[in-house]
Structure 1
Amino acid sequence: MNKFYLSEINIYPIKSLGGISLNEAEIEEKGLQHDRRWMLIDEEGTFITQRKHFELALLQVDIAENIMTVSHKKNLNHAISFSIDEETGESISVTVWDDRSTGFEVNTKVSNWFSEFLKMKVRLVKMASADRRLVDQRYASNNETVSFADGYPCLLIGQSSLNGLNEKLSMPIRMDRFRPNFVFTGGIPHVEDNFSTFFLGDVLFSAVKPCARCVLITIDQQNGLKGQEPLRTLAGYRTAGKKILFGQNLIHKGSGIIRLGDELRIEEWKAMANITE
């Protein structure tokens, strides 16, 4: 029987900016602590991502002693820092896909820094702690909530899945294209398609929906340049219902600490997934 072990834990504090790799993390109601609790919005309050602004890939986020620093990957002197607790106190109605949520602008200096970088008027907002943005009710089991992430608290991908994809590509890519929270070792490519429920530490996770991929995975996270891969190759063997699938969206019960090396203890398996191979 295969065993599966956690090999990466990643958070993305500001939606669509560079992630942070951790040795351990606390899982809260909305997902991993600090994950997608901030995002950039335009003047209408709509979220901004790499899908249209590829250059966001060049901004790296770090947190140390409750101070968040955003820096340019190619110019580390071009950076700005602020307290993770900082906010103006004025609530702003914000939009993530079809959902309305509430955020608070961090401060005008930070917003101006991002506006200068993007050459358009934007604001950096922090999610209101009391905001309850619900997971899609078709896949939720107990009115689970989510941060500013696209739709689910966490995303899981097997290292074997990326290895299998890279065998089909002329130039291998890195896992950061897919922005997972959890990466695990063990098993065949896409074995995660067949996970139903599993434990990490004392927290029970359910793999509720394959993750449909978009143009974002064609953006090199090291240089912000867009290509055609791996979307083109994945379309040839990971398509179902006209969607290209890679990884599993998760919901969870409870809270706790999750650590690198934790075993994914499978509680229940799904029937074999019907995805083109």
Structure 2
Amino acid sequence: MRLASIHFYPVKSTAGHDVTEAEVEPWGLKDDRRYLVATPDGEMLTAREEPKLLACRAEVSGGRLTLAGPHRPPLLVTPTSQLSDTQVWRTRVKLTDCGDDAAEWLSALVDRPVRLMWLDDPTRRPVNPEHGTPQDRVSLADGYPLLLASTTSLDQLNDWIAEGAVERGEELPEPLPMRRFRPNVVVSGAATPFVEDGWKRVRIGEVSFRMTKPCARCVLTTIDPDTLQKGKEPLRTLGRHRRIDKKLLFAVNLIPDGPGTIRVGDPVTAP
């Protein structure tokens, strides 16, 4: 198996970046999901509720974040020194407010008042203790430092989607791209679809990882990141073929054993 692609998302729920190599830090890829959008009362906001966030492209250069979008000129973000509690799923996390200019820029994009928040200290947020150790940390990803997906599994899913369309007498849809699932690392060459579900550990190049659990998918996967339109796939087909313990599963969560650098083309081994 080989590492086929690497992706990171500077601001949670915004457009991703494809890179040929990346630093692995204890809490995720360098610069991955260190920012998120929140409501004024401190509740995390994602593209599940506001698909327009997917139209925002965030760039990181020299440690500074720039926001680009279809509605306004790009904005260089200047964080404040103000810390406040933000609800990130089931936990409250202290994040740094990124100022009124960033808030106004993003509010204009999604047409509602929002704030941009920064996880200035990535050691602040622990992973779910059910699937990690007390020392494990995560950035602002949903639950774990990295998400791994397999091209073999995506090929199988797209075959199932096509078969379902034929059964319903519908026109064959275009295959879903991997970007619908927002992984960090994509592996090619797996012998069978969804074999990654059973891995306990995986090594990518020089970096080893622990597997935590398969990823339960949500409505975000049904949003076309180009048109921002919602559809029924892939959840309809995952519900038919990949419903396990009442969850619709695709891709697996990883925790790195230590830091290092991964590169597209690296060998991938799963003992």
TM norm. shorter chain > 0.5: yes
2:176 aligns to what? 173
1:107 Cα shift? 2.1
1:71-112 deviation per Cα after TM superposition (whole angstroms, max 9, x unaligned): 23xx3x7342325xx310111111111111111112211111
**What is the distance in 1 between the residues matched to 2:79 and 2:58?**
18
1:52-67 matches, within 5 Å, as 52-67=49-64
- The yes-or-no answer on 1:134 pairing with 2:126 is yes
1:197-244 deviation per Cα after TM superposition (whole angstroms, max 9, x unaligned): 121232210111010001110000111111111100111000111100
Deviates more, 1:138-147 or 1:224-233: 138-147
C-alpha change, 1:131 and 1:102, in structure 2 (3 Å) is: farther
- The yes-or-no answer on 1:194 pairing with 2:194 is no
Tell me which stretches of 4 or more aligned residues in structure 1 moved more than 6 Å.
none
**What is the distance in 2 between the residues matched to 1:29 and 1:230?**
31
AA paired with 2:144?
Answer: Y
**What is the distance in 1 between the residues matched to 2:150 and 2:43?**
32
Taking only the aligned residue pairs, the percentage that are identical comes to 37
Alignment TM-score, normalising by the size of structure 1: 0.89
1:8-27 matches, within 5 Å, as 8-27=5-24
- Give the match's secondary structure for 1:168: helix
AA paired with 1:78?
Answer: R
Q: Match for 1:150 among 142, 148, 155?
A: 142
CA contact (8 A) 1:67 1:81 kept: no
- The yes-or-no answer on 1:81 pairing with 2:78 is no
AA paired with 1:166?
Answer: N
> What are the ranges of 5 or more consecutive residues in structure 1 without an aligned counterpart?
268-277
**What is the distance in 2 between the residues matched to 1:221 and 1:215?**
12
Give the length in aligned residue pairs.
259
AA paired with 2:80?
Answer: T
- The yes-or-no answer on 1:228 pairing with 2:218 is no
- Give the match's secondary structure for 1:209: strand
2:266 aligns to what? 262
1:275 aligns to what? none
2:4 aligns to what? 7
**What is the distance in 1 between the residues matched to 2:127 and 2:144?**
6
1:39 aligns to what? 36
Higher helix share: 2
AA paired with 1:123?
Answer: R
CA contact (8 A) 1:38 1:126 kept: yes
1:34 Cα shift? 0.7
1:97 aligns to what? 89
**Pairwise CA RMSD of aligned residues?**
1.5
Higher strand share: 1
- The yes-or-no answer on 1:116 pairing with 2:119 is no
**What is the distance in 1 between the residues matched to 2:133 and 2:4?**
28
Alignment TM-score, normalising by the size of structure 2: 0.91
AA paired with 1:167?
Answer: D
